[in-house]
Structure 1
Amino acid sequence: MNLIKYTSIAAIFVSTSLIIAKILTYHFSHSIAILSSLVDSSLDLLTSLINCVAIFYAAKPKDEDHKFGHSAIEDIASFIQAMIIFISGILIIYQASMNIVNHKVITFEKVSMYTMLLSLFMTICLVLLQKYTISKTKSLVISADCLHYKTDVLMNIGIIASLFILKFTHFYAIDSIVAICIAVYIIYSAFELGKSAFNNLMGREISRQEQDEIIAIIQAENRIKGFHDFKTRRSGQMSFIQIHIEMKGDLTLFTAHEICEEIEQKITEKIPNCEIIIHKDPC
């Protein structure tokens, strides 16, 4: 958990540094692409802050009022992020469209190029750190954050390309076109993020692949004759699994318990961060 916390703090540091650099750059260049990138970095900071709070809160131990833990806070935080990001994407498209309509001229500034190169370098370093954390912890929160920052790398490359085109062709609309493309990505990401968070809050089943892995583990145990009432749901990083298994009635309670423990261990190896309830039925 400490590695996850340190990685989330690193994301906050990177986003804050880039926001300061892009504010200064926009002051000199008035580039809408830089502005949209500034908005995206601001959203990165907001989401990283929310993720950090959610990670710390979700790590709290279970208590009398929250016997399933506090993992749902991650889904609530994600849904709030999605709404903010969606609105910001709409505003960027509006501003960029107005620039195209009004034929606003943007001049090439070396400081813009230097800022985007710095942004690209710092974001790549952060993604590498996040990948390392994911390999060690399998954290779903960091995985989602890493996906977001990986697409930021692609956006930064796009902005750098637009600045080069602007310098050599004076095709001034390219700045707004790139900004609109970034905004479309932001809106799409917001929709996917919101859908995922909403599904978790509504208690949607875990993925079909994960369900099939659980079923395969149960069917591989020849002392289990069948199963029913198989239910799952996801909340934040946690997966909750309930299942009734059918075993011969002449098995001792100790043997039945031992079988269930073996099943739970195998499921946990396939699906980390899960809570399993197995009910034993005689057949």
Structure 2
Amino acid sequence: MQADYQLWVKRSAYLTLCVAVLILVLKLWAVLLTDSSAMLASFTDAALDLLISALNFAVLRYALRPADDNHGFGHGKAEAVMALLQAAFLAGAALLVLLQALDGAKGQVTPQAPGFGMVITLCCMALTLLLVLAQHWIIRRTGSLAVKSDSLHYRSDLLMNAAVFLALALVWRGWFWADWLIAALIACYLLYSAAQLARESLQHLLDEQLPADELRQIEQLVLAQPDVLACQQLRTRRAGPKVFIQCVLVLDDHWTLKQAHQIVDAVELQLKARYAGAEVMIHPEPRSDAQLLPE
């Protein structure tokens, strides 16, 4: 499972880099010929996407390393650190786009050749859609946070390119105000995306529990073992592709140490079947002492 994860995440990084470079070149061409604030905003975001994709490629090589003496829990949190950095980049790009929109509102920039810009925008939308579909398939297969954050950018790019196309279409009709207004709306969307990405990154970095429905599933798996009386102190967290689970199993007093160990092993197998590659830590506790455990 881990090898499969690494294979598809690396393939996603290669594909994203190639598509990002091609889109960036197309948008630069359009910016030079159109002088559109909306197109310039889209180019700024594309340049940011390329930078982030390159950083992701480097960080993933580190995040996919196995655990070592200095990092006993692996390097998976490097993905969350990278995603948080991406959120900061997105926020900075949004502020830059807002400044560009203000210049357009003051009449300092007049768009040219909107028809050419519309053609380039359609080409970029087609490339982006193909990339998003490929990333969606890889996310379902791996659950990678880095690929998910990359996909968030390119999904937002689809809406952004549609907005740029609309702006250029309106400019073509002589409504020049649409150019700077849509550029400002793009900036607001970038800020919203940055906030979402930052929140998800912090969930990983701060060891937030798995979602409530998954916690219930874990408890059901544990209690499905007929010799387990209760599951207490269930704690979970996620780092990259790996899930960490620890809990206390309440067992009857009459079980021997060997029998208790067999019960714990059975529970671990169930959990690892549900979460491939999971790190599971279980402490068996006799029922007579269970009431002493803190809530």
Deviations 1:177-226 (A, max 9, x none): 11111111111111111122223222222222221221222233331111
Q: Pick which of 61-70 and 102-111 moved more.
A: 102-111
- Asked if residue 221 in structure 1 is aligned to residue 225 in structure 2, the reply is yes
Q: Residue 98 of structure 1 corresponds to which residue in structure 2?
A: 103
Q: 1:237 to 1:105 in 2, by over 3 A?
A: same
Contact 2:35 2:110 survives alignment (8 Å): no
Contact 2:90 2:191 survives alignment (8 Å): yes
- Asked if residue 10 in structure 1 is aligned to residue 10 in structure 2, the reply is no
Unaligned runs of 5+ in 2: 1-5, 288-295
SS at match of 1:61: coil
Q: 1:57 to 1:163 in 2, by over 3 A?
A: same
Contact 2:9 2:144 survives alignment (8 Å): yes
C-alpha displacement at 1:42, in angstroms? 1.3
Q: Residue 130 of structure 2 corresponds to which residue in structure 1?
A: 125
Q: 1:136 to 1:195 in 2, by over 3 A?
A: closer
Q: 1:197 to 1:140 in 2, by over 3 A?
A: closer
SS at match of 1:259: helix
Deviations 1:135-194 (A, max 9, x none): 333333323322331221122122112222221x31101111111111111111111111
**Counterpart amino acid of 2:183?**
A
C-alpha displacement at 1:245, in angstroms? 0.8
SS at match of 2:229: strand
Q: Residue 212 of structure 1 corresponds to which residue in structure 2?
A: 216
**Overall identity of the aligned pairs, in %:** 28
TM-score, normalised relative to structure 2? 0.88
Q: 1:139 to 1:199 in 2, by over 3 A?
A: closer
Contact 2:104 2:179 survives alignment (8 Å): no
SS at match of 1:240: strand
C-alpha displacement at 1:41, in angstroms? 0.8
TM-score, normalised relative to structure 1? 0.92
Q: Residue 112 of structure 2 corresponds to which residue in structure 1?
A: 107
Could you tell me which of 222, 238, 244 is aligned with 2:242? 238
Unaligned runs of 5+ in 1: none
Contact 2:142 2:241 survives alignment (8 Å): no
C-alpha displacement at 1:272, in angstroms? 4.5
**Counterpart amino acid of 1:116?**
T
Q: 1:123 to 1:217 in 2, by over 3 A?
A: same
